[in-house]
Amino acid sequence: MNPLIPHITPVTAPPHSESHVGNRIGWLRAAVLGANDGIISTACLLLGVAASGASATQMLTAGIAALAAGAMSMAVGEYVSVSSQADAERAELDLERREIAARPEAEHRELAAIYVSRGLEPALAEQVATQLMAKDALDAHAREELGLNAITAARPTQAALASALAFSSGSALPLLIAITSPAGATIPVLAVVSLLSLVLLGALAARAGNAPMLRAAVRVGSLGALAMVITSGIGWLVGVSV
């Protein structure tokens, strides 16, 4: 080592770590949708019932019915929706499996062309396509041609359970508020706490999905407030007319 040149300790870069949300998009979407719908629908229902002049017993009955019906509706709807997606994915995979068995050379050229379109040299694209198809041809075509992979695969049961549980959790909050709020203050307390809960939920969902928190919080809060105002007005009109 030359003594005139100071020794410089090499700096090694820390391990690169990234946090992606692809592996939780499905259940995150179902959970956020369920909780958001649980808070909004039950809070709006209770506000409408309260504005009509209903008794505490009537509000409790309506709230419990809304919780049960909403949870079942969310679960069934989510299961049917995601099951349809899963059926479509299986049909695409079956078709691709048959095409690979019937025309392997054409499918090989198709896969190589995909890599060329993404920037690889034709010779390298041919080599990559050959190696990937030799390992698992269907997996390679499912991922590159169809955009399907294990992370984003449709899971109906998981989505249904997440929706039902999330809706029940969200719905339980305004129901509990309506039961425990002081007499004569049910409407303002229910509206304020429900709106704050919606704003918090929107912010947390955005944070979990690496999205802007303020935008999501303002969006869900403003739309929730609009829904509550409209429902309360309808309940008041019904109460006055009846």
The DSSP-derived string for the chain is --TTS---PPPPPPPP-----GGGHHHHHHHHHHHHHHHHHHHHHHHHHHHTT--HHHHHHHHHHHHHHHHHHHHHHHHHHHHHHHHHHHHHHHHHHHHHHH-HHHHHHHHHHHHHHTT--HHHHHHHHHHHHHHHHHHHHHHHTS---TTT---HHHHHHHHHHHHHHHHHHHHHHHHHSPTT-HHHHHHHHHHHHHHHHHHHHHHHTTS-HHHHHHHHHHHHHHHHHHHHHHHHHHHHH-
What pLDDT was estimated at residue 42?
A: 92
Rounded to the nearest integer, the mean pLDDT of the chain is 79
64 lies in some domain: yes
15 lies in some domain: no
8 lies in some domain: no
Q: pLDDT exceeding 90 applies to what percent of the chain?
A: 9
Indicate the residue type of 202. G
36 lies in some domain: yes
Confidence bin at 68 (pLDDT 50/70/90): very high
7 lies in some domain: no
Task: Answer whether residue 149 shows pLDDT above 70.
Answer: no
Sign of CA dihedral 66, 67, 68, 74: positive
Confidence bin at 60 (pLDDT 50/70/90): confident
Over residues 184-203, mean pLDDT? 88
pLDDT in tens, 106-142: 888 888 888 888 888 888 888 888 888 888 888 778 7
Domain residues for the domain of 168 are 24-237
Over residues 5-11, mean pLDDT? 43
13 lies in some domain: no
What pLDDT was estimated at residue 100?
A: 83
pTM for this one? 0.66
What pLDDT was estimated at residue 10?
A: 43
What pLDDT was estimated at residue 30?
A: 62
Q: How many domains does the chain have?
A: 1
Residues 234 and 43: their CA atoms lie apart, in Å, by 14
79 lies in some domain: yes
pLDDT in tens, 17-57: 444 444 455 556 667 777 888 998 899 899 888 888 888 88
Residues 86 and 143: their CA atoms lie apart, in Å, by 15
Q: Which two tokens stand for residue 40?
A: 């909004």
Task: Answer whether residue 13 shows pLDDT above 50.
Answer: no
